[in-house]
């Protein structure tokens, strides 16, 4: 099919939407590991992985072989029957999660998993209100759109009521921050809130009124959450939803102890704590298999999708036996959730992550990438921040470092187009669309990183020369 035919069908018959990232669209035809090819045979280094979805690599041979074996045996039956693939996978997935997170509900997507988690939290607690961060994204269904707090992803209709959005503890763009706050190999360049007038690279100090070791940014963001409880929420809530690192929000990281203190506040008000691991799970953060482990917390419920199936539509909610018992007041049924083919694919992904040392590669290559990107940040005025862990990375673009004002959309598009034309695909996000997102298949190499850095340096240099 010609490009012209595809574009005509896309306009007439295929999902009315903002068509592509690019002025000149990319027509993808084939993929292998970290590479994609268009219909003309041009090769691209994929550093966005279908929005952080292809975890172990496009058409990974091990996952492909497992899929083919299952296709020859059994495509579909429902979970009203006892079939081996479902039970083998649930047992394997549960082994990657700490106690008491051992009860698994399989779904088809992250939106579906998050919507199910909302329902379960409300049934279990008997409460209704759910708190999430501003700038968060938790799905595109009518219910999860209520959780989502990013205007470009919200339609002008009534969405799920009872969703309350609290200040995102963003230590780069928020009111408070500094250069010691994040669990990341790269810190911010802004002045630290922990010492009046102390510049970014000075020794850590605190104001007189606070004991040594207190992160003032964290203290103030927790106070904002307390303010939300005091003014916007009822005395008892159902849940708190939080991504360990924001995805669509632009790889935003919180102060190191924020989630630990936030979880305490939530549980004091009768709520449960839900970790949305749709983008951070399955080793992407490098140091841990799950993003929540980097915050030293254990949630009451974990939702996951995207990387769970390496691009195959699979999602899951994992919770405790106590919460699961509450979910029997009516019949819950999912036609495709836990079907044999999905379970075989997802099981092979877990095996491949272990056999290929994918998590370790994410840590080492991701750390190298971030530290090298920090050098570009120091070189260019328009690169305000580099952040993340493993291969969950954001590069926030600004007009200048002093104001931290977001780089305009037309400038972001110009740079994105140049990077694409030179053979690399990256994403973008953030409340203002000001952050480039780098969330590649976790099989990328240091050589791939060096290629990207050269491409990105050329694109930024070209943009600044044209300004």
Q: 21: which 2 tokens?
A: 């990232």
The CA-based angle 396-239-429, given to 5 degrees, is 15
CA distances from 200 to 188, 196, 203, 213, 375 (A): 8, 11, 9, 16, 16
Tell me, yes or no, if the two domains 3-56+357-466 and 67-355 fold the same way: no
Residue 98 CA to residue 420 CA, distance in Å, equals 41
The alpha carbon of residue 336 and the mean position of all alpha carbons in its chain are separated, in whole angstroms, by 24
> Model-level pTM?
0.93
- So what's the pLDDT on residue 434? 97
Q: Does domain 67-355 have CATH number 3.10.110.10?
A: no
- 104-113, 147-156, 230-239: which has the minimum mean pLDDT? 147-156
CATH fit for domain 3-56+357-466, picks 1.10.260.40, 3.40.640.10, 3.90.1150.10, 3.40.30.10? 3.90.1150.10
Q: How many CA atoms lie within 13 A of 441 on its CB side?
A: 27
Residue ranges of the domains in the chain? 3-56+357-466, 67-355
Label residue 150 by pLDDT band (50, 70, 90): confident
The alpha carbon of residue 253 and the mean position of all alpha carbons in its chain are separated, in whole angstroms, by 11
Residue 245 CA to residue 136 CA, distance in Å, equals 10
Q: Tell me: pLDDT of 199 over 80.
A: no
Q: What is the pLDDT of residues 242-294, one digit of tens each?
A: 999 999 999 999 999 999 999 999 999 999 999 999 999 999 999 999 999 99
Q: Please answer whether residues 115 and 226 qualify as being in contact, where contact means their C-beta atoms are separated by less than 8 angstroms.
A: no
- So what's the pLDDT on residue 17? 63
- So what's the pLDDT on residue 193? 86
Tell me the torsion sign for CA atoms 399, 401, 405, 411.
positive
């Amino acid at each position: 099919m010609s490009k012209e035919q595809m574009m005509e069908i896309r306009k007439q018959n295929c999902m009315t939407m903002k068509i592509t990232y690019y002025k000149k669209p990319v027509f993808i035809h084939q993929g292998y590991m970290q590479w994609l090819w268009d219909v003309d045979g041009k090769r691209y280094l994929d550093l966005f992985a279908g929005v952080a979805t292809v975890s172990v690599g496009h058409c990974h041979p091990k996952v492909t072989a497992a899929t083919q074996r299952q296709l020859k045996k059994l495509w579909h039956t429902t979970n009203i029957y006892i079939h081996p693939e479902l039970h083998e996978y649930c047992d394997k997935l549960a082994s990657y999660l700490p106690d008491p997170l051992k009860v698994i509900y399989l779904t088809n997507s992250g939106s579906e998993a998050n919507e199910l988690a909302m329902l379960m939290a409300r049934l279990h607690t008997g409460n209704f209100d759910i708190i999430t961060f501003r700038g968060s994204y938790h799905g595109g269904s009518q219910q999860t759109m209520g959780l989502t707090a990013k205007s470009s992803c919200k339609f002008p209709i009534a969405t799920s009521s009872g969703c309350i959005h609290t200040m995102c503890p963003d230590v780069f763009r928020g009111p408070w921050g500094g250069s010691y706050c994040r669990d990341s190999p790269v810190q911010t360049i802004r002045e630290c809130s922990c010492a009046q007038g102390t510049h970014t690279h000075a020794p850590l100090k605190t104001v007189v009124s606070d004991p040594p070791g207190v992160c003032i940014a964290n203290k103030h963001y927790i106070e904002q959450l307390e303010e939300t409880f005091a003014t916007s929420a009822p005395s008892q809530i159902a849940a708190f939803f939080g991504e360990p690192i924001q995805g669509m929000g632009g790889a935003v990281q919180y102060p190191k102890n924020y989630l630990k203190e936030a979880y305490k506040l939530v549980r004091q008000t009768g709520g449960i704590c839900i970790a949305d691991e749709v983008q951070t799970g399955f080793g992407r953060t490098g140091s841990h298999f799950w993003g929540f482990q980097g915050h030293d917390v254990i949630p009451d419920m974990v939702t996951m999708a995207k990387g769970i199936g390496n691009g195959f539509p699979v999602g899951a909610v994992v919770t405790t036996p106590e919460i699961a018992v509450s979910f029997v007041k009516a019949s819950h049924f999912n036609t495709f959730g836990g079907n044999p083919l999905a379970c075989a694919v997802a099981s092979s992904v877990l095996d491949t992550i272990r056999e290929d040392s994918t998590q370790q590669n994410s840590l080492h290559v991701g750390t190298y990438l971030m530290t090298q990107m920090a050098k570009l940040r120091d070189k260019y005025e328009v690169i305000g921040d580099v952040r993340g862990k493993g291969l969950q990375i954001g590069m926030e673009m600004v007009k200048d470092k002093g104001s931290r004002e977001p780089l305009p959309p037309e400038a972001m598009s110009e740079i994105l187009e140049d990077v694409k034309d030179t053979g690399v695909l990256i994403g973008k996000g953030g409340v203002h669309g000001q952050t480039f997102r780098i969330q590649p298949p976790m099989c990328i190499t240091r050589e791939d990183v060096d290629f990207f850095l050269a491409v990105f340096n050329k694109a930024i240099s070209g943009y600044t020369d044209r300004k």
